[in-house]
Structure 1
Amino acid sequence: MNISTPNTDQLLARDSFIERNARSRAKALLDENSMRELVGPFDRLMSPWLAMQNIVVQADDGVVVAKGTLDGVPTVVLAIEGAFQGGSMGEVGGAKIAGALELAAEDNRNGVPTQAVILFETGGVRLQEANLGLAAIAEIQAAIVDLRRYRPVIGVSAGTVGCYGGMSIAAGLCSYLVLTGEARLGLNGPQVIEQEAGVAEFDSRDRSLIWNLTGGVQRHQASLVDLCVADDTAAIRATLVDLFRQGVPAQPRSAQYRHFLASLDQVDTSAQASAQQVRTIYAKGGMQ
């Protein structure tokens, strides 16, 4: 979909999803009065590694696990708090997400049709926890693949952090992926690319370049996400309801790797590609 520019009255009336924190986002998506939080902040399950490095910890390790119903169907919402350590994944937060997905899959095997939403606001692995964070992300990815056989796993990235690193791979494994125009999706962030390959490869200060290549609108037009929606809580919730009603897709995007690899083979790496060139390349041949 194309996102039209809202006027002043529309902006004032809109309930911004981006401006909500992780817990508020989860509550807003679930049916009214149905949310209960699992392993919440009062359980004090925090990263044992950050304190050792004199880094302030957070009581929920930046991940909210909310169980309830959406459109009357049992649903778990896993919301990453981008304001804490850039939404990075460590041992505890990653285990909360992976464990919740694994329990949802077990629900389905026991006849309870539990579905899942993951709210991606993350820069990827938490560098302070290194291999522990990478292992946690791998467990999340395996759990998504397991659950999506039974019920859809829907990923949403609204902004402002975006979705990067190993968690962008997790997002690509979701049954459906939804972004706003303000969101960004990529394996490596702009600053990482500039640091490793130089400013000539990617200028991290060029905001127009960043959103033209990795923003929600571009990613949707390049077929890397299913929908690009406005930053409106009600619109995002309605989108999730509609996608869940569609059920498990006949073929997940990750199974269409031949199409995407063939598209990558057409990229001329000797020059910076434009947004239109990227869309044209991915459009060739169409989705399988």
Structure 2
Amino acid sequence: MTSRVPARNGQTDWNAMLARVSFIELDARARAVALLDDGTARELCGPFDRIESPWLEPQGVVPESDDGVVVVKGVLGGRPAVVIAVEQAFQGGGIGEVSGAKAAASLSLAVRDNREGTPTVAVLLLETGGVRLQEANLGLATVAEVCAALLELRALQPEVGVIAGTMGCFGGMSIAAGLCSTLIMTREGRLGLNGPEVIESEAGVAEFDASDDALIWAIDGGAQRTGTGLADVLVLDDVTAVRSAVIEAVGRGVPGEHRSRRIREWRARLDAVDPADPPDPADLATVWAHAVPAEGDRR
């Protein structure tokens, strides 16, 4: 599913393009508030609560008083919602003990709300390189808690992930992205388990040239990930477009089968690719389309 560039009489409507408000250029707090209905946003564990990581300052890193994750409760299209936004400007969106705990606890509270009669949906704004290196195992443990909470909540209400900015979503949090009911991306967004720099450092430049921007977006970019079914909706970098896509995704409710449960389908797609002679990124969608098992035989 794609939200297209505004057009009029077959030509790009540049006035509409220039009138857009960039979602990418907002910080995490502004993104979260922009998604919610006007006047309904209420931040939990905000910066004045000074919930900081205790592990950064001893390692020479200045901590941030919300630890780089913003949690905002409110109303989204008339429905109770919690928005969890990762701030990419702090430590590259890295997840540590405190920030991961904030995200996991917020999802667990949404589960509680649902079970107590308040049908609360969750939106994750994912701009992260994965676990923060300074907190290593602590970060990994909290990412696991986030994934567990996502699995519990998605049986009750839809969870929408949004990957908008060029930081993208990598590492353990890319697994969290894959667990969402719906995943929305912009063309500028990126998604992958391992980042280009990590792949290059481990396997060499012949495996992945991390300086080749065209290659990176051809493989990890929003258009490619949506075209190959790893994400669901491709939207413009525009606050109104992103908000509309999120509300539409929430309105579709819990899917009959989540993407992460279609094991046989993904195994067939992997089997269709020869690692010694991989297809060009532009051809991958076609290769995978031919590899999909018959309906009813995807698990």
Tell me whether the two structures share a fold, i.e. TM-score over 0.5: yes
Superposed CA offset, 1:190-237 (max 9, x none): 000011001011100111111111100000110111111111100111
User: What is the aligned partner in structure 1 of residue 141 from structure 2?
Assistant: 135
Output the amino acid matched with 2:190: R
Q: 1:34 Cα deviation (Å)?
A: 0.2
Deviations 1:71-101 (A, max 9, x none): 1111000000011001010000000000000
Letter in 1 for 2:232: D
For residues 288 and 274 of structure 2, what CA distance do their matches in structure 1 show?
Answer: 13
**Matches for 1:1-288 after TM superposition, within 5 Å:** 1-2=1-2, 3-4=4-5, 8-286=14-292, 288=298
Distance in 2 (alpha carbons) for counterparts of 1:62 and 1:235:
25
CA separation in 2, counterparts of 1:258 and 1:219? 19
For residues 116-145 of structure 1, give each alpha carbon's deviation from its aligned partner in whole angstroms, at most 9, with x where no partner exists.
Answer: 000000000111101000000000000000
Q: Deviations over 1:252-273 (max 9, x none)?
A: 0000122112111121212453
Distance 1:137 1:100 in 2: 13
Question: Aligned AA for 1:247?
Answer: G
Higher mean C-alpha displacement, 40-49 vs 6-15? 6-15
RMSD over aligned Cα atoms: 1.4
> Which stretches of structure 1, 4 residues or longer, exceed 4 Å deviation after superposition?
2-8
Q: Which amino acid aligns with 1:118?
A: L
The one-letter amino acid of 1:143's match is: A
How far is 1:154 from its partner? Answer: 0.5
Q: Does the 8 A contact of 1:47 with 1:57 survive in 2?
A: yes
* Total equivalences in the alignment: 288
Give 1:10 deviation, angstroms.
3.4
SS at match of 1:284: helix
Q: TM-score with structure 2 length normalisation?
A: 0.93
1:213–1:274: 8 Å Cα contact kept in structure 2?
Answer: no
Aligned-partner residue type, residue 281 of structure 2: A
Q: Work out whether residues 201 and 272 of structure 1, in 8 Å CA contact, stay in contact via their aligned partners in 2.
A: no
What letter matches 1:32 in structure 2?
Answer: D
Q: Tell me how far 1:8 sits from its aligned partner.
A: 4.4
Q: Distance in 2 between matches of 1:281 and 1:165?
A: 26
**Distance in 1 between the 2:232 and 2:98 partners?**
30
2:28/2:85 contact within 8 Å kept: yes
Distance 1:202 1:192 in 2: 9
Contact 2:162 2:185 in 1 (8 A): yes
Whether the 8 Å contact between 1:105 and 1:146 is mirrored in structure 2 is yes
TM (normalized to structure 1)?
Answer: 0.97
> CA separation in 1, counterparts of 2:79 and 2:162?
18
| Identity percentage of aligned residues | 55
Cα distance in 2 for residues equivalent to 1:187 and 1:244: 25
Q: What letter is aligned with 2:249?
A: L
Q: Distance in 2 between matches of 1:23 and 1:284?
A: 42
Letter of the aligned partner of 2:245 in structure 1? T
Alignment gaps of 5+ in structure 2: 7-11
Measured in 1, the distance between the counterparts of 2:112 and 2:233 equals 29
CA distance in 2, matches of 1:247, 1:101: 17
One-letter amino acid matched to 1:27: V
